[in-house]
Structure 1
Amino acid sequence: MPAKGFTHCKFILVFAVFMDILGISTVLIGVFAPLELKGRDFGDLLVYSGVLLVLLSMAGWVMWYSGNIEGLTLVKDLDYKSGAVDRLARSLSQRIRKSHRSHVTP
């Protein structure tokens, strides 16, 4: 039986782990490897690129975590009575949907 936390958003999880590995290895190569071509040092470029990859992986981790949030209850399950703001939002949404349908259908 798979772990419960890995059930949703598997692609984003793989993306985040891959970007972490790639980013950290790029930073380490940029710091410790002597990378000079024609007298120019390219270590800084790899460090900055690796940090950018790690930041991208952080976005992936946030998406994965938010996709795995469970236990949220629906409003209809709470016996929630709709107020004026809810009715206004619903009527506005219905108007937008109707106007969109009239523009889409020939």
Structure 2
Amino acid sequence: MEPVYRDQDPVYRGGLGRCALCFWLAVVFDLVGLLVLLVGVFVNVFFYDLLVYAGAIVVFLSLIWWVFWYSGNIEVPPAELEDDVGLLKRDRAGLGALGGLVRRISSRVSSGIRTSFRRTGGGPTGGQRPAGGPPGTPQQQVAVAMATVTPQEDVRVSCDVEMPHTTTETSPA
């Protein structure tokens, strides 16, 4: 359903919310999983255990769609989102000196991490220095000698394996 806007707030009609597709996928997964599970329980086939397990797995996978539907329909007023996305107005902050201190420390730590990735070449594995060395240590080249190996002529492998003699005992029945 398309949202109907009243005073810049979307109002969704239909009762399913914004994520109707996730809702219907969850319902279909539940129905198919339950149907397969019940067929495995009540129909006399030789692969009933496969049907029971498959039905249970499909019902479990429907939980993913239920979580998507539920989390997609959570309503959060824009006033509560302002602080989370960095749009907090200075006059409404109300955090005092402690909040400003925490915000400054957080920004310094995150910028320090960001610049350390830039210095090392983009990430923990893409560094420009050898592993374990301090920053500023020049890279060392390692020479590896390689030789060409030719196959040997007249190599024969014997597959004759002798098995030990074993006896089997049977119980009188």
* Bin of the TM-score, shorter chain as denominator length: 0.5 to 0.7
Relative distance call for 1:7 and 1:34 in structure 2 (3 A) is same
2: CA distance, partners of 1:11 / 1:55: 18
Residues 86 and 24 of structure 1: CA distance in aligned 2, closer, same or farther (over 3 Å): farther
Could you say if the C-alpha distance between residues 34 and 84 of structure 1 is closer, same or farther in structure 2, counting changes exceeding 3 Å? farther
Distance in 2 between residues matched to 1:86 and 1:49, nearest whole Å: 50
- 1:15 is displaced (CA, Å) by 1.1
Match of 2:19 among 9, 13, 29: 9
Q: Tell me which of 48, 51, 57 is aligned to 2:62.
A: 57
TM-score normalized by the length of structure 2:
0.45
Aligned residues: 94
Separation in structure 2 between the aligned mates of residue 30 and residue 46 of structure 1, nearest angstrom: 5
Structure 1 unaligned residues grouped into runs of 5+ = 36-40
Residue identity matched to 1:48: Y
- Sort the Cα spacing of 1:48 and 1:83 in 2 relative to 1 into closer, same or farther, 3 A: farther
The Cα offsets for residues 27-78 of structure 1, whole Å up to 9 and x where unpaired, read as 011111111xxxxx1011000000000000012111211111113522238x
Instruction: State the partner residue of 2:8.
Output: none
- Structure 1 vs Structure 2 CA RMSD: 2.8
CA gap of 1:14–1:34, structure 2 versus 1, over 3 A, is same
Greater per-residue helix proportion: 1
Question: Relative contact order (alpha carbons < 8 A, sep ≥ 6): 1 or 2 greater?
Answer: 1
Distance change (3 Å), C-alpha of 1:14 and 1:84:
farther
Partner Cα distance (2:31, 2:73) in 1: 22
What amino acid does structure 2 have at the position aligned with 1:3? Answer: G
**Which residue does the alignment assign to 2:48?**
43
Residue 16 of structure 1: SS of its match in structure 2?
A: helix
Deviations, residues 68-93 of structure 1 (Å, cap 9, x unaligned): 1113522238x343444444444527
Provide the TM-score with structure 1 as the length reference: 0.68
Query: Aligned in 2, Cα 1:67/1:43: closer, same or farther, shift over 3 Å?
Result: same
What percentage of residue pairs aligned between the two structures are identical?
A: 37
Which segments of 5 or more consecutive residues in structure 2 lack a partner in the other structure? 1-11, 123-173
| Counterpart code for 2:13 | P
Letter in 2 for 1:32: F
Q: In structure 2, what is the Cα distance between the partners aligned to 1:71 and 1:24?
A: 34
Aligned to 1:38: none
